[in-house]
Structure 1
Amino acid sequence: MHAGFEAYLKENMQLPDDEFRLMCSFAVERKLQRKQVLLREGEICRFKIFVCKGLIRTYRTREDGTEHIIQFSPENFWVTEPDSLHNSTPSRYYIDVLEDSEIIFWTKSDFDFLYEQVPRLKYFTERLISRNVTLGRDRIFSTISSTPEEKYDEFVQIYPTVFVRVPLHMIASYLGISLKTLTRVRHAQLKR
């Protein structure tokens, strides 16, 4: 099992060795190539992913093809499309790989089985969901109330390692601002 994942679990869940081994026995490790698509709009999501190395994004497109990035998932982030996964409904989102990555994933049925066998996993997942709901609400509030400068500062705080790893147009997409505005904000920040 990937050493980064083992360290993450030990730090965040304090799993006993037997439960760690059980969780790993259902895990599938994969190396992914940049630009690989993991989920397309219209497909049903059937997995939960942990990013050991690399960078993945979740996004949605408008009818005109404009992309709106919902989430970046660097190392030690979890990725899924929860509505599609839990309700077996077609996804409205895409998930793809921005740089060569190493992941661990579980199918929904395997993860459901692990919930029953590893009570700490269910508790930990509930905490992650709660944190993600809070982050989502904070992001909505920021989108409707923050200046471009405040959005930029929040992005750098939330994703300190991502900024130098993705093109500016993707950051502008995530922030919901134009590339021109992002360039102006960055230039002003560098002058400070």
Structure 2
Amino acid sequence: MFEDFMPYLRQHLPMLTAEQIELIRSASVVRKVRRKQRLLQAGEVCQYKMFVIRGLLRTYHITDAGHEYAMKFTAEHGFLTDPESYVHQTPSKLCIDALEPSDVLLWNHDDFENLRIAIPELNALSEHMITHSNIETQKRILLNISSTPEERYLNFMTTYPDIFRRVPLHMVASYLGVSRETLTRIRQGLLVAAKG
């Protein structure tokens, strides 16, 4: 399965030597994940950086009342972790599970930090990914506080068309911060507007 990670490495880190690639390979753990299987449970310390080879993962929070709030969906060729828990090695407030059968590469905290030290190019890529993630989070917060539910729905459909087709509607509603009923009304309203 590591071979499926190689195109990503070649695209983003073309200057890596065979020795550096072998270091990354030797630190990685391959995991096949069943649909609905959890990779992180709230209360656990997030020990891994994860990369999705195949499949779809969801990061979400469950309130004390049992309500789920989708934070992020990560499909093929995406990295994910719970950054707060991973960096500070504190109990996570989030859960991560598979929405589809998935193949994932994992690097534990200590191994990945050692790789970042040993391979400056990987460290630079990691810093770039963190910056990109922060920018995406900022965009999402701005969208959530300054747009209508319809605008958020249309943005999600156009920004993540592949993910949109693979995620159940109640999870899309959770991601958008609306009820499933509200999302159904939005979808029906947009269909009527498109026909008229």
TM-score normalised by length of structure 1: 0.95
Which AA in structure 1 matches 2:154? Answer: D
**Structure 2 stretches of 5 or more lacking a match?**
none
- 1:2 Cα offset (Å): 3.4
1:165-184 matches, within 5 Å, as: 165-184=166-185
Amino acid at match of 2:100: E
Matching residue of 1:89: 90
Deviation at 1:142, TM superposition (A): 0.7
Runs of 5+ in structure 1 lacking a partner? Answer: none
Encode CA deviations 1:53-101: one digit per residue, 9 max, x unaligned.
Answer: 0011110011210000100011111111111111111101111111100
Provide the residue aligned with 2:60 in structure 1.
59
Report how far residue 131 of structure 1 moved: 0.6
Report the alpha carbon displacement of residue 12 of structure 1 after superposing the two structures with TM: 1.5
- Separation (CA, whole Å) in 2 of partners of 1:77 and 1:189: 31
Counterparts of 1:89 and 1:158, CA distance in 2 = 32
- Number of the residue aligned with 2:22: 21
Q: SS at 2:121's partner residue?
A: helix
Q: Could you tell me how far apart the structure 2 residues matched to 1:30 and 1:57 are?
A: 16
Corresponding letter in the other structure for 1:2 = F
Cα deviation 1:99-147 (Å, max 9, x = unaligned)? 1000001001100110111100100010100011011011111111111
Say whether the 8 Å CA contact 2:61–2:71 is kept in structure 1: yes
SS, match of residue 60 in structure 1? strand
Q: Report SS of the residue matched to 1:188.
A: helix
Give the counterpart letter for 1:4 in structure 2.
Answer: D
Work out whether residues 13 and 122 of structure 2, in 8 Å CA contact, stay in contact via their aligned partners in 1.
Answer: yes
Q: Which runs of 4+ in 1 moved over 3 A?
A: 1-4, 188-191
In structure 1, what is the equivalent of residue 10 of structure 2? 10
How far off its partner does 1:183 sit?
1.4
Q: Matched residue pairs, number?
A: 192
Other-structure match for 1:146: 147
How many angstroms apart in 1 are the aligned matches of 2:158 and 2:175? Answer: 14
Aligned counterparts of 2:22 and 2:5: Cα–Cα separation in 1: 12
1:34 equivalent to 2:35? Answer yes
SS at match of 1:181: helix
Q: Percent identity?
A: 42
- Offset from partner CA, 1:139-187 (integer Å, 9 cap, x none): 1111111111210122123321111212100000000011122112223
- SS of 2:100's equivalent in the other structure is strand
